[in-house]
Structure 1
Amino acid sequence: MNPAPPRFPAEWEPQSAILIAWPHAETDWADRLGEVEETYIALVAAITRFEPVLICVADDDLQTYAEARLRSARVDLSRVRFVPAAYDDTWLRDSGPISLRDGGGFRLLDFRFTGWGGKFEASRDDQLIEHLDETGTFLNSARQPIDFALEGGAIETDGEGTLLSTWQCLRERHPTAGREEITRRLASWLHQDRVLWLDHGYLEGDDTDAHIDTLARFAGPDAIVFQACEDPSDSHYAELKAMADEIAALRTREGKPYRLFPLPWARPIVDEGRRLAASYANFLIINGAVLMPAYGDEADSPAQAVLAEAFPDREVIAVPCRPLIWQNGSLHCITMQLPAGLVRQE
């Protein structure tokens, strides 16, 4: 009898922990470190209500400092574990492991991380998964290096074999490869039998070349939450409308339209003349809850209501993320979920 093939679990499936990396003065957060630390504290406080957090720290001094900050915020440190590691930045969605269930264990896919197509230095981030694997961070797992540039934020799965992505991002990473070739490779490595591509959708201030996790997310095998734009005067209106039409034309495995949950549009957030990418689609699903990025905008509450409708069995918690978008990402971008059984429970 042939063993079952590996499976890429959906984000809403049971998790053992959330992986993050603590910001410090040698990362790009240096100029606004205090502000972003407040977001990290709020994030860890929210996660530890439901599950453990695994925090990468650059050295012992940073661990001591992070522990003190979390303790002063009355975070449950019994659900926090620190792991020493070298990293260039803190976007763990893109440099962390993509975990597949493989029999009774796990396969950790270690794609190349190139700093979003060579935009930024990323040599230490590219070695992060190997380091975590060598230090015994994960249980019953095997790392699979793959010489192909792919970030976790560029892909979205429903856990049943359907992958959702944007063609712009994969085309930018691999300009000489055609769609058929990339579809075949992704389907093989990620063990998916359907790859759905979006040809539209972008956000100003996004340097990932249109990661799917800023635009459209599965909320179940038959549901998609996506970032909409209702303002015809906004520069995003035409592109996000075209994306919404594409999503409406997609079909489930059973040939039915997806249940759709459009997210409201935040007012433009401009920093030193630069428009920032404030997407509510960059939420994180954890055990029993959905953590939603909040931007101090009047659309925060309506976005929370949409997510509550899309995830009726989970508490929706707003986490202040305005400092994150200064560096072109948000809540989902700084986190990576680890499936149940992958991390030792202490």
Structure 2
Amino acid sequence: MYLPAEWEKQEFVQLVFPHENTDWIDYLDEALNTFVNIAKSIAKYQKCLIIANNLTYVKSLFSNKNNLIFVKINSDDTWSRDLGGITVDDNGKKVILDFKYNAWGKKFAYKLDNQITMQMKLKGLLKGYYHKSISFVLEGGAIESNGDGIILTTKQCLMEKNRNPTLSQNSIEKRLLEYFGASKILWLNSGYLEGDDTDSHIDTLARFVAKDTIVYQSCDDIEDVHYEALKEMENELSLFKQLDGTSFKLIALPWIEAKYDCDERLPATYANFLIINGAVLVPTYDDKNDEKALQIFKQIFPSRDVVGVDCQTLIRQHGSLHCVTMQYPKI
């Protein structure tokens, strides 16, 4: 058993669309436009499952519905990466591990979101997959797999007491090794982004792009509040070892100038990209380094298209492209 890497073949990507009862209400049209752009970008390459409260209206936003699957399921919010099932490969069987979701330590409403994966099963959307409910709080954005037995995560997130308060780090590590058939857990102690609600999800900071390669969000502005913590994270990454004892190749992603909503710093990061069949979707922020980031991804993934997606609206709710999507490995 293992947790497939994101670059492995996928069946579909899940999106949960915003609606008038979510925190997107003040700029709902902008948010819907962003979600439509993401769905269209995915649908050029593979199937995209769209979950919506107001199904008729959401369908009307698309003139071309090729590769799009629509289903009505009620939701509290839109963060598919964290409320979605995490799929492992068990000797060829794809098993969706349906972990408990509590909105990053009960920070927001979550009861509807916690039921979405089960609702997908009941509505027949998960045919070909096995389903297993697990009484352990874990979000997809909290873990990264290199597809070769290594899981990357952050201590700040998984040890946050409103998730699994009775468990020690050692107990949590044993569970991760068991759930994902992993051989090694790499724990980051450093790195964060202001404005992040997730207690430093790994998918905002450092990501696998190959079994031996990690990209990470760097900061070269010594005056920025993130500079020291991200430098410490960079040093930690340089000390991590693969299963054979060799170091990982590291690729730095350029820094993004501070983005604000009123006086609130927003967690913009290029590390929140999404790999799909034949392409990599990269968040952009109308920043001077957007094009530089896109060029880095083109060098990393020469056989895939690299598609920039404007995520300025997403960061106003403290997430980005990877946070609102969840891929399901090919059956």
The normalised TM-score by structure 2 is 0.97
In structure 2, how many angstroms separate the alpha carbons of the residues matched to 1:331 and 1:210? 16
Residues 59 and 70, structure 2, Cα contact 8 Å, conserved in 1: no
Correspondence list, 1:65-104, <5 A:
65-71=57-63, 76-104=64-92
Letter in 1 for 2:164: H
SS in structure 2 of the partner of residue 123 of structure 1? coil
Q: Which residue of 1 aligns with 2:275?
A: 285
The CA deviation string for residues 178-197 of structure 1, in whole angstroms up to 9 with x for no partner, is: 22111111110111111001
User: Take 2:119 and 2:266, find their aligned partners in 1: how far apart are those partners?
Assistant: 33
Aligned to 1:158, which of 141, 146, 159? 146
Q: Where does residue 25 of structure 2 map in the other structure?
A: 30
Q: Which amino acid aligns with 1:240?
A: L
Shift in Å at residue 175 of structure 1?
4.2
Question: Please, which moves more after superposition, 136-145 or 266-275?
Answer: 136-145
The farther-off stretch of 174-183 and 269-278 is 174-183
Equivalent-residue separation in structure 2 for 1:128 and 1:43 (angstroms): 20
Q: What letter is aligned with 1:107?
A: V
CA RMSD of aligned residues (A): 1.1
Q: State the alpha-carbon separation in 2 of the partners of residues 292 and 312 from structure 1.
A: 14
Equivalent in the alignment of 2:40 = 45
Q: How does 1:176-195 map to 2 (within 5 A)?
A: 176-195=166-185
1:26-65 Cα shifts (integer Å, max 9, x gaps): 111111101111211211121111111000111xxx2222
Which residue is 1:340 aligned to?
Answer: 330
Which residue number in structure 1 is paired with residue 109 of structure 2? 121
Q: How many residue pairs align between the two structures?
A: 329
Kept in 1: contact 2:149–2:183 (CA 8 A): yes
Structure 1 residues 258-297: aligned runs within 5 Å: 258-297=248-287
One-letter code aligned to 1:290: V
In structure 2, the residue matched to 1:11 is 6
- 1:344 aligns with none
Give the residue type in structure 2 aligned to 1:168.
Answer: Q
Equivalents in 1 of 2:150, 2:92: separation in Å?
22
- 1:99-114 counterparts in 2 under 5 A? 99-114=87-102
Q: How far did 1:114 drift?
A: 0.5
Unaligned runs of 5+ in 2: none
What's the counterpart of residue 298 of structure 1? 288
After the TM superposition, which segments of 4 or more aligned residues of structure 1 sit over 6 Å from their partners?
Answer: none
- 1:232 aligned partner: 222
1:3 is aligned to: none
Alpha-carbon distance between aligned partners in 1 of 2:166 and 2:56, rounded to the nearest angstrom = 47
Look up the equivalent residue of 2:248 and give its one-letter code.
Y
Find the aligned partners of 2:209 and 2:60 in 1 and give their Cα distance.
36
Q: Which amino acid aligns with 1:63?
A: L
Determine helix, strand or coil for the equivalent of 2:159.
helix
Counterparts of 1:270 and 1:212 in 2: how far apart (Å)? Answer: 22
Q: Is the 8 A contact 1:110 1:144 kept in 2?
A: yes
CA distance, structure 2, for counterparts of residue 129 and residue 327 of structure 1:
22
Give the secondary-structure state (helix, strand or coil) at the position aligned to 2:66: helix
Letter of the aligned partner of 1:65 in structure 2?
Y
Give, as a single letter, the amino acid of the residue that structure 1 aligns with 2:34. Answer: T
Q: Per-residue deviation at 1:308?
A: 1.6
Offset at 1:176? 4.0
Could you tell me which amino acid in structure 1 is paired with residue 61 of structure 2?
R
Residue 277 of structure 1 aligns to a residue whose secondary structure is coil
Contact 1:261/1:310, CA 8 A, preserved across alignment: no
Q: Residue type of the partner of 1:332?
A: H
Q: Please give the alpha-carbon distance, in whole angstroms, between the structure 1 residues aligned to 2:305 and 2:289.
A: 18
Take 1:310 and 1:223, find their aligned partners in 2: how far apart are those partners? 10
The unaligned stretches of length 5 or more in structure 1 are: 1-5, 342-346
The one-letter code matched in structure 2 to 1:337 is Q
Partner Cα separation in structure 1 for residue 116 and residue 36 of structure 2: 22
Corresponding residue of 1:171: 159
In the alignment, the residues of structure 1 paired with residue 23 and residue 80 of structure 2 have an alpha-carbon distance, to the nearest angstrom, of 14
Q: Aligned-pair distance for 1:162?
A: 0.5
| In 2: Cα distance, 1:175 partner to 1:224 partner | 30
Residue 117 of structure 2 aligns to a residue in which SS?
helix
CA distance in structure 2 between the aligned counterparts of 1:31 and 1:235, rounded to whole angstroms: 29
Q: Does the CA contact (< 8 Å) of 1:154 and 1:213 recur in 2?
A: yes
Residue 242 (structure 1) shift: 0.2
Amino acid at match of 2:101: F
Q: Return the letter of the residue paired with 1:325.
A: I
Which of 220, 228, 247 is the equivalent residue of 1:257? 247
Deviation string 1:185-239 (CA, Å, 9 cap, x unpaired) is 1110111111001000100000100000000000010100100000000000000
Counterpart residue identity of residue 57, structure 2:
Y
Select the residue among 56, 59, 62 that pairs with 1:64: 56
Amino acid corresponding to residue 54 of structure 1 in structure 2: L
1:210 maps to 2:200: yes
Give, in whole Å, the separation in 1 of the partners of 2:312 and 2:80: 18
Letter in 2 for 1:36: A
The question of whether the paired residues in 2 share the 8 Å contact of 1:225 and 1:310 is answered with no
